[in-house]
Structure 1
């Protein structure tokens, strides 16, 4: 009996090890530099956090030229060898990493007045775009930064086509869509498309807005993870309204995989600079 029990324990351990080995997560890249500053408060079991943000430290102390060029230790330019510009019909976009057989796909959608170039700029926003590019390249992933015609149906259809194109070449890869500011309109439109929602691994809202219709979307019904990053002094999309949206999600589905990070004293662009890509994506990967 003892021998049988030992063999059972060994078999169970092997199964557990196999399951752990199969769980994909992004390997570290400059984690110490991009880690969140101190947490000032939290709620909802840690799903809501208030993070200390200070302009003098997090812009002036981080950038060689404030808001224009981050210090060199925050970037790794080896990733540029993996970056190319392509066109899918009239949709021009940058691609970094594996265009086929990727393990993970991350797409950044810019806000009003932006372009595909914003999402591949190595030196602005504290080097955070350089970090996501490196995270994708170093983990057999694909990063995309596209232009699109508008924030309405035309833009949604263009991005849906982009997702379909690359997802067909990496069918096992979950697709994560990050939307800056007004780009959130496209995040919500994609959430309402059942075909796109089936591929989504998560939505990342960076200084963006709210949409009550999300609670009726196919993505919501599938419990697609949502991350919301917002500056407490955002004058474009007030933090109070975005916090109310976060609460509405939890009221509709208390176990919904949603996280909110409030950057205290941060402004409209702060979440693009400060959001920890690796922490966010690895959390979303655990929800698959």
Structure 2
């Protein structure tokens, strides 16, 4: 348990419990894509109920040995470029404005969709780049196409009511259940839309990747409706402290017995680690099966 935070040591359990927690009884199994390459590299600990997991993260292994150019270009075996044929930039018109959006798949015909909201300083290109973040966005796009889904990532120009309105417009443009995934400051968009009844009715779940903590989230309409939520965070995140986000997770879990929420902590991971290391197949199976 290299460098394991002392508060986490109490969560270490036997292997049998670990296997059950990682492989819950679910009604949905997605067709995989490069699962061995993107699986969590090692589980350091897990809570008895399986809701809180600490994953080993090693910068040398997970960046320098994985990338040809560290943090710029992953090795080619992590990427399947054929998905580019179903990927395109689009302009979504709403209220006299055009929202620049990266799209993979056909939202109008999708079984389900993932909409990714970037953080401050980003745009739609961040979530569409096949080679940064260890190829994890390329994997996500391939998972969606292989399973009849759609993936979209809009350029969010502000993380206020206007930004939330733009993301809402994209959600409401389709009919498929949506997983809304928000990274970093993009979590403000998730928090805002968590109180919008029209949006909550369309959501299958939420994922918060290194997200900005918001204790009010636990009292949101989304949480009151039992919406499944996945939190992923780095233990050395200097932008948003993991313990503050863990407090939000704990508050959500207290709202109902067996609330469908999971927290994955990347031990020694930084602010960007969740975008590189989140296992999208495992996360989506959890969110979409409930």
* TM-score strictly above 0.5: yes
Alignment partner of 1:217 out of 206, 217, 220: 220
Alignment partner of 1:138 out of 146, 156, 160: 146
Alpha-carbon distance in structure 2 between the residues aligned to 1:25 and 1:273: 22
Structure 1 counterpart of 2:71: 67
Higher helix share: 1
Question: Structure 1 residue 241 and structure 2 residue 216: aligned?
Answer: no
Deviations 1:230-287 (A, max 9, x none): 1000000011111111111122223211000010000000000000000000111221
Deviations 1:162-187 (A, max 9, x none): 111123xxxxx210011110000001
Structure 1 counterpart of 2:190: 187
Deviations 1:185-223 (A, max 9, x none): 001111110000001111100011221222222211111
Alpha-carbon distance in structure 1 between the residues aligned to 2:264 and 2:109: 32
Structure 1 counterpart of 2:29: 25
Alpha-carbon distance in structure 2 between the residues aligned to 1:214 and 1:55: 32
Query: For this pair of structures, how many residues does the alignment match?
Result: 261
Structure 2 counterpart of 1:164: 172
Contact 2:118 2:156 in 1 (8 A): no
Structure 2 counterpart of 1:121: 129
* 2:108 alignment partner, SS class: coil
* 1:166 alignment partner, SS class: coil
Contact 1:25 1:285 in 2 (8 A): no
Question: Structure 1 residue 51 and structure 2 residue 59: aligned?
Answer: no
- 4+ residue segments displaced more than 4 Å: none
Alpha-carbon distance in structure 1 between the residues aligned to 2:149 and 2:218: 30
List runs of 5+ in structure 1 lacking aligned partners.
1-22, 168-172
Shift of 1:44: 4.4
* 1:224 alignment partner, SS class: coil
Structure 1 counterpart of 2:14: none
Contact 1:105 1:142 in 2 (8 A): yes
Alpha-carbon distance in structure 2 between the residues aligned to 1:279 and 1:134: 14
Contact 2:136 2:275 in 1 (8 A): yes
Alignment partner of 1:81 out of 81, 85, 102: 85
Q: TM-score, normalised by structure 1?
A: 0.88
* 1:267 alignment partner, SS class: coil
Alpha-carbon distance in structure 1 between the residues aligned to 2:242 and 2:275: 15
Matches within 5 A, 1:143-158: 143-158=151-166
Alignment partner of 2:200 out of 197, 200, 208: 197
* 1:117 alignment partner, SS class: helix
Flag the 1:44–1:187 CA change in 2: closer, same or farther, 3 A: farther
Bigger CA radius of gyration: 1
Contact 1:229 1:262 in 2 (8 A): yes
Structure 2 counterpart of 1:98: 106
Structure 1 counterpart of 2:264: 261
Deviations 1:68-102 (A, max 9, x none): 00000000000000011111121110110123210
Shifted more, 216-225 versus 188-197: the winner is 216-225
Alignment partner of 1:276 out of 260, 275, 279: 279
Contact 1:246 1:258 in 2 (8 A): yes
* 1:100 alignment partner, SS class: helix
Alpha-carbon distance in structure 2 between the residues aligned to 1:35 and 1:199: 29
Alpha-carbon distance in structure 2 between the residues aligned to 1:134 and 1:217: 32
